[in-house]
Structure 1
Amino acid sequence: MTTFPPSLHLTTVTAEDSVRIEITGDLDYDSAGLLLNEVTARLGARPRPGDLRLHCAGVGAIDSTGLSVLLMIGRRAAAAGTCLHLDERPAMMDRLLDLTGTLEYFTAMTNAAAPHTAAEGPATT
């Protein structure tokens, strides 16, 4: 059996109160665990980040395992009190999230956690 290196590359940048993870490649059965492990480590760090930004512009493909990992990350971020942002989603990712009924879930999490005043209206991602 031939094994191939994961088709996913992660670049993590930490700031004072946030973590940004740039995702390049496929988020699938073979590689989604890498993202989950990286996020889990960052959410377990002290102090916990207020914002977790997954930069998705470089995502090539997502399968059901990749979607499942994104949902798990959403739950773990919420449990840690961290606001999850899926930044610069490619059109195919938005289509998948829309078809599966999860787009509103991800954008609602961001909008609910983002501070805003009544005069400003709801925050957007």
Structure 2
Amino acid sequence: MPIERFLGRVALLTGATQGIGLATARRLAQEGCKVVLSSRKQENVDEAIETLNKEGLQVSGLVGNQRVREDRKKLLEYTCEKYGGIDCVFMSAGVSPHQGSLLTFGVPVAYSYIFYQGSTLDPLVFQVTSP
């Protein structure tokens, strides 16, 4: 018997076309969640959707750059229009402006940028999902 602990829930995932993001999208969909995934490149979104659909999982997606406020808003609106709301958001996109080892630029810099991304998404979530 399949596990359906997320049946009827809606999840929005950024950076969800590879790695941890894709694995999270897969698992949520396997457990009954309606999944919307996002990435910066359309071909990555299309490939991830095709891969998951071939596994019998129903997911949809939209291209978007999480560094661009309008793209984040568009993704939230798309998800709400398609599924009537959002239950959870997973920000898996690698959005740090720094590349390389944490030892090069330091953990506080990495965390501050991730915190910034989350704090700019929160108001949009409330704005888009409120009646």
TM-score (normalizing by structure 2): 0.32
Higher strand share: 1
| Structure (1 or 2) with the greater helix fraction | 2
Considering Cα pairs closer than 8 Å and 6+ residues apart, tell me whether 1 or 2 has the greater RCO. Answer: 2
TM-score by length of 1: 0.33
